[in-house]
Amino acid sequence: MNNITNKVSSLRQAIATAIVKVSKQETIDAIQQRKVPKGDVFEFSRAAGLLAIKKTSDVIPDCHPLPVEYAAISHSIEGLNIIVTVEVHTIYKTGVEVEAMHGASITALTMYDMLKPLDKGIEISTIKLENKKGGKSDFKDSYPSNLRCAVIVCSDSIAAGAKEDRAGKVILQKLKQFNLNTGIYMIIPDEVAVIQSKIKQLVSEGYNLVLFTGGTGLSPRDVTPEAITPLLDRPIPGIMEAARQYGQQRTPYAMLSRGVAGFIENTLVITLPGSTKGTEESMDALFPYIFHIFRVAEGMRHD
């Protein structure tokens, strides 16, 4: 099974269909008049399909068990074709496409089993996914390509050459995944005056996104939040709340991060933890969803 521990839970939806084709009108009449000896074809097959949706991970090895929070199965008749439509919703880290298709398959197969004494020419065909929503794939079209990005590592020891930067390089790799180039990657001491001078320079140069790593811990030497907070024109607490919540599900120490985020003029500034793991988790929590903020900000400037 694929590792999905780094994914964010979100609303996932899928719709799948299957076609059951009978060979004569008498079969359709028997279904509609509830005269099939084995029972009500639509109700029995619907129940079987619902069970199949919930049991998908039991029969398909690579499917993750997940909470099914909504499932609906409907039938429609078009000539000698019966269209089975299955819709499934969940709030989880992975999608429900296979659950919907499995439900459509078993619904159709149950209909076949119930109808075969009446009709030897039944066919099941065109089991397919009609639509899916949710997850990072929904945001691919919103990835900006023209953002000017800067990554600033705040660390006295790294600036002095005593340690090697790893957290900043994680940010660079993550940004590259979204086809974003970093115009500036710099290591500076964790000092208020130095930090403030650097962010003012980047704002004046028109950078859209500045990511700081380091200086958000509890040590008296960690001063990045103190340096950035007075400069924020529009704080956005939800950004770091989302990162901390994501991290808290993976380590109880995430609550100790004092990171802040918000706009300085038209520049979004985010302060991330200095640990490699903490930075990686924060980036997974925020990206690509954070890109929506630039669409909102652009709309506000045009209003």
Active site residue 113: yes
Rounded to 5 degrees, φ, ψ at 243 are -65, -40
Report the side by side order of strands in the sheet with 10-21.
70-78, 81-92, 10-21, 123-133
- The residues, ordered by sequence, that sit 6+ positions from 182 with a Cβ below 8 Å of its Cβ are 149, 150, 151, 171, 172, 175
- Residue 157 tokens, joined: 């020891």
Kindly tell me the sign of the dihedral angle through the C-alpha atoms of 244, 282, 182, 290.
negative
235 close to 179: Cβ distance less than 8 angstroms: no
The region, left, alpha or beta by phi > 0 then psi within -120 to 50, assigned to residue 285 is alpha
Q: Which residue in the list 29, 40, 113, 165 is annotated as catalytic?
A: 113
- Residue 190 tokens, joined: 């964790």
Rounded CA-CA distance 228/102 in Å is 51
- Residue 188 tokens, joined: 């500076």
Using CB atoms within 10 Å of the CB of residue 204, give its burial: 0 to 12 exposed, 13 to 18 middle, 19+ buried: exposed
Residues marked active site are found at 113
